[in-house]
Amino acid sequence: MLRSNSSAPWTGVPLSVDFSRPEHYIVFLFQLLFASCTVLVAGSVAVSILATRALRLQNRFLFMLNTSVCDTLVGLSVYYLGLFDVSEGYPSRNGTLNFLPSLLGVNMLTFMFAQFDRYFAVCHPFLYTRYFTRRLVICVNIYSWVQVFSQATILYLIPLSMAFQMYAFSMVYLQLIVLTKVAMTIKLYIVAKSQMQREPPGPERESNKESLRMIVFVVISFLILWSPSIVNIPMRLFGRGVTFHNEATNLFAIMARGSALVTPAVYIWGSAALRRALLRVVWGRLCPCCRRREEGETPAALRDNRVQQQRFPTDNTNK
């Protein structure tokens, strides 16, 4: 994740595999398919939220928008990290100065802030309504980008010995974020189980229940996919971790990037409002069948309507 010590002239970046073995084709096709699916799913979620004003006015969807934009960029980065011979870290090979892998760090911070947002929304609704404004949420999301990429820039600009110290400090900071996310996930689960039982039935209760369930699922899946990298990266500093040839064959990095596809999929699964916006804004325009389904018109219903019109023509037809 630090700068490369290579001084060889640049002669082009080779592909991640040389296709000398059958499994090389599988690795290359997997990276290509994974990148395309991530861009398609995460990009659709981001576009749907941006195009729907009712979603943009809700804080929880602003956090979803931030992570979906980040996930889309992660998918685009796989076209380079997964298809070409790239090795991030130290020493790096054809690396990106850790800027592309840092996209996953933006997601990690955003999830932590979203957990605090949901906690105050459920446990302290009056305080939440007064202080957790839309402007504050936007500023928090911007801070996630500034903090992560300013750290990556400083690591590249400072001397190498100081960069190692700062890199070790960033690993401690990463572990603290992970512990905070675990503690908040347990807290949100307890809150969701007790608070929802006391609230009277209504749309606000269903909205809070939906958002709490979704953020818990997202964070749990994120931690499961990130756990191998979280353990392996500090161990590599002491020479005990697992080393891979490049990013395309780095199983731990593939699992971490897999959260960029799992997260928007959980958003779609957990939010009925987002599914309706997705059908209306994206898939309804690309697929007429999805538009008819969103309007409640099934192919069978359309066929019955055509038969009905043939049997009983309208007055305009008679004229």
DSSP calls for 11-45: --PPBS--S-SHHHHHHHHHHHHHHHHHHHHHHHH
Q: What pLDDT, on a 0 to 100 scale, did the predictor assign at position 310?
A: 47
Cα gap 41→36, rounded to integer Å = 9
Q: Where are the alpha helices (DSSP H) in the chain?
A: 22-51, 53-56, 59-81, 102-123, 125-131, 134-157, 160-198, 203-237, 251-270, 272-278, 284-286, 288-294, 299-311, 315-318
Cα gap 96→105, rounded to integer Å = 15
- Is pLDDT larger for residue 317 or for residue 40? 40
Per-residue pLDDT tens for 146-201?
Answer: 999 998 888 888 887 787 777 777 777 877 888 888 888 888 778 766 766 666 66
Q: How many CB atoms lie within 10 A of CB 283?
A: 17
Q: What CATH architecture applies to the domain 22-285?
A: Up-down Bundle (1.20)
Looking at residue 1, what DSSP letter applies?
Answer: -
Cα gap 212→188, rounded to integer Å = 7
Taking CA 63 as the corner, what is the angle to CA 31 and CA 267, rounded to the nearest 5 degrees? 55
| Six token digits for residue 186 | 């347990």
| Six token digits for residue 103 | 């996209």
Task: Please give the share of the chain, as a percent, with pLDDT higher than 70.
Answer: 80
| Residues sharing a CB contact under 8 Å with residue 9, sequence separation 6 or more, in sequence order | none
Break the chain into its structural domains and give their ranges: 22-285
Q: Is the pLDDT of residue 315 over 70?
A: no
Residue type at position 300: A
Per-residue pLDDT tens for 239-295?
Answer: 777 888 889 999 998 999 999 999 999 999 888 899 999 998 888 777 766 665 555
Q: How much is the pTM? A: 0.81
What number is the average pLDDT over the span 199-213?
Answer: 67
| Six token digits for residue 295 | 């309007």
- Is pLDDT larger for residue 17 or for residue 216? 17
Q: Is the pLDDT of residue 307 over 60?
A: no
Q: What pLDDT, on a 0 to 100 scale, did the predictor assign at position 33?
A: 97
Per-residue pLDDT tens for 225-241?
Answer: 988 888 887 777 777 77
Looking at residue 319, what DSSP letter applies?
Answer: -
Overall residue count recorded for the chain in this entry = 319
Cα gap 246→256, rounded to integer Å = 15
Nearest to 94 by CA among 23, 166, 9: 9
